[in-house]
Amino acid sequence: MKLHRIKPALTTIAALSLTMNLSAQRHGPAAAAEQAKLLIPHPELEATLFASEPMLLNPANMDIDAEGRVWVTEGVNYRLFKPWGKIQPKGDRIRILEDTDGDGKADLAKTFYQGNDVNAALGIAVLGTKVIISCSPKVLLFTDENGDDKADGPPTVLFNGIGGVDHDHGAHAFVFGPDGKLYFNVGNSGGQLKTADGKKFIIDKAGNEVNGRGKPYRQGLVFRCNIDGSGVETLGFNFRNNFEVTVDSFGTIWQSDNDDDGNRGVRINFVMEFGNYGYTDELTGRGWRTKRTNQEKDVPSMHWYQNDPGVIPNLLQTGQGSPTGIAIYEGGLLPKTFQGQMMHCDAGPRVVRAYPVTKSGAGYKGEIVNMLQSKDPWYRPSDVCTAPDGSVFVADWHDGHVGGHHMTDHKPGQMTGRIYRLTPKGKNTKYTTSKKRTALTMLSSPNMASRYIGWQQLNKVGAKAEGTLGELWKSDHQRLRARALHLLARIKGLEEKYIGAALKDANPDIRITGLRIARERGFDVIPLVKQLVSDKDSAVRRECAIALRHNTSPAAPALWAKLAQQHDGADRWYLEALGLALDRQQNKFFGAWLETVGSKWDTPAGRDIVWRSRSKKTPDLLVKILLDKKTKEAQKPRYIRALDFQSGPEKDAALLKLLGAGS
């Protein structure tokens, strides 16, 4: 019998029957074990099933506590506006999964909290007795002071008024940084941050109202704040759906971002503090399809306004996808390829990747290494975390659809969810966590929740911790040295000693960390920038430029000019760092550079600086470049586009000059 002769009605019935059978085959521990056989780990890794339904359903986000227990936010009540409505009337759950016998499989599951205020929550951070849940419109703080694995009561509100309710583009997970602060982000539907009562916009440390309306921030945002939610800093803006943020031991920030679905533009970003990341036009807020001068040639680059002055370049573009959780692997259990590198989930192409990076000028270049794929079309990795023993856990939402406000398994009794564990291939997969942990071993842990506890304990005792922390500071492990430095430089009376030592260190990442700590601690950065202004490492000089942002010292313009003189004309990362430092002081800083270089400004590097600047003197110089016979026709659109970012009578005069020359 030929397929084309089958009657349509019978075909439909057969298809429905097949779907129902597949759904039945998909649910339950036995099905999960079979489907786990379809996993394809990196050749040096081994993947095993840690937990499945009914222990958990639809894991949206995950964290691992200092005891090695896996905490999960569930997304059963996903898209309440869809026909299936509220599937779980009591609200979604926060689950705790535990492996009590160390065999690498969860055998105990508890519900920490259940309620309609955590429906499809997109973020969880377990910090000692605190649990932070991100669920637009609120960021909620739960506590468990008595250690019974139950929330002590209703949560308090850290932040409110965040958009993206029942949407993937809202409030996302918090992560603890090496500086003792919290890092988090919101997607472009979130777009703002309000006080706990929801009445006022947060005013950040730069004095700006935190919203995505273009004054100055747009679209998705990334933040840093104190543990209690005070001292909010806006670290980057103009993302689409920056699903999660991560920060390494040096304080370097990394993110992924999703394109307008279907445009092959998913990207990975090194978040240079205070940068614009180009999802929409900086000045007008128009989308990437808007025609503009010097428009990029390919859609993925066009998508992020990569040719515009004032846009931080992308580290990597990974094509089509639906990016989700991200983390830095700072353990030693997994092979060297993964150590110190990003791990990232992309639920669209069904893959967990690593992005090994190497330094490139003042920025980075990266490559792609697949960590965990699957032949199973329902495999949808949603988050990745590191356990205290250095193994890596991957949450799998497990669904026939990805995003788009839809899910396949929306019937009670059919819903699924999986957690996998990655270990080195051929090694003992026994899962153990030591109960005998000192503050130092916890600070040294690859697990973020452990580091939080170690950080708090060591910071609390102050000077008494100097000897203990000194062991890490003198080690050869640069990331552990950076963690120790963050605490040593906070000991009263020893701040200058350790910041001074860091600035003289042979490792540029430690010098960068020292300067970042000095900024955060409120030190006068001018003497420190003077010390580093001619550093041989361009990334160190990048941080010097960022340190001068909004600095009103009379010495700041000359220091910026000296940094600008070291631009090589080819390093976009360095150029954008210089541009960030110009904010609110364009005329002072740019004028100091012009005064220093005089008539020798017209070099490839000098033209770059003119292109990026927005001072009163910039429009005239742009026109000089455009009228210069040495300027090639192919280069002119770049400088014409730069004129769009100028303003005032100086721009008007320059345009008249340009028009007059063409008549």
More confident site: 12 or 180: 180
507 touches 327 (CB < 8 A)? no
CA-CA distance, 525 to 547, in Å (whole number)? 7
Domain(s) labelled CATH 2.120.10.30 in the chain stretch across 31-424
Identify the CATH class of 496-662: mainly alpha
Q: Where are the alpha helices (DSSP H) in 63-182?
A: none
Averaged over 248-256, what is the pLDDT? Answer: 98
How far is C-alpha 507 from the chain's CA centre?
Answer: 24
pLDDT tens-place string over residues 293-334: 999 999 999 999 999 999 999 999 999 999 999 999 999 999
Torsion angles phi and psi, residue 220, rounded to 5: -70, 150
**pLDDT tens digits, residue range 157-186?**
999 999 999 999 999 999 999 999 999 999
pLDDT at 210 over 90: yes
- What confidence tens digit (pLDDT) does each residue in 357-395 have? 999 999 999 999 999 999 999 999 999 999 999 999 999
Q: CATH assignment of 31-424?
A: 2.120.10.30
Between 649-662 and 618-627, two packed helices, what is the crossing angle to 10 degrees? Answer: 10
pLDDT over 90 (residue 59): yes
CA 122, CA 244: separation in Å to the nearest integer? 9
- Residue 3: per-residue pLDDT: 31
Task: Supply the pLDDT for residue 663.
Answer: 57
Residue 615, CA distances (Å) to 313, 621, 657 in order: 22, 10, 18
**Sheet order of strands, 381-386 included:** 45-52, 418-424, 392-396, 381-386
DSSP label of 423? E
Cα-flanking dihedrals φ and ψ of residue 604, to 5°?
Answer: -55, -40
> Is residue 53 within 8 Å of residue 399, measured between CB atoms?
no
pLDDT tens sequence across 98-137: 999 999 999 999 999 999 999 999 999 999 999 999 999 9
What's the rounded Cα separation, in Å, for the pair 69 and 55?
Answer: 13
pLDDT tens readout for residues 262-286? 889 999 999 999 999 999 999 999 9
- Buried b / exposed e along 179-203 (16+ C-beta atoms within 10 A): bbbbbbbbbbbbbbbbbbeeeeebe
pTM of the entire predicted model = 0.95
Q: Give 405's pLDDT tier (boundaries 50, 70, 90).
A: confident
Average pLDDT value for residue range 602-612: 98
User: 13-24: string of b/e by CB count within 10 Å (b at 16+)?
Assistant: eeeeeeeeeebe
pLDDT single digits (tens) 542-599:
999 999 999 999 999 999 999 999 999 999 999 999 999 999 999 999 999 999 999 9
Residues 6+ apart with CB under 8 A from 553: 524, 526
HSE on the CB side for 74, CA within 13 Å?
A: 30
Domain ranges in the chain with CATH number 1.25.10: 496-662
Q: At what angle do helices 466-473 and 478-488 cross, to 10 degrees?
A: 150
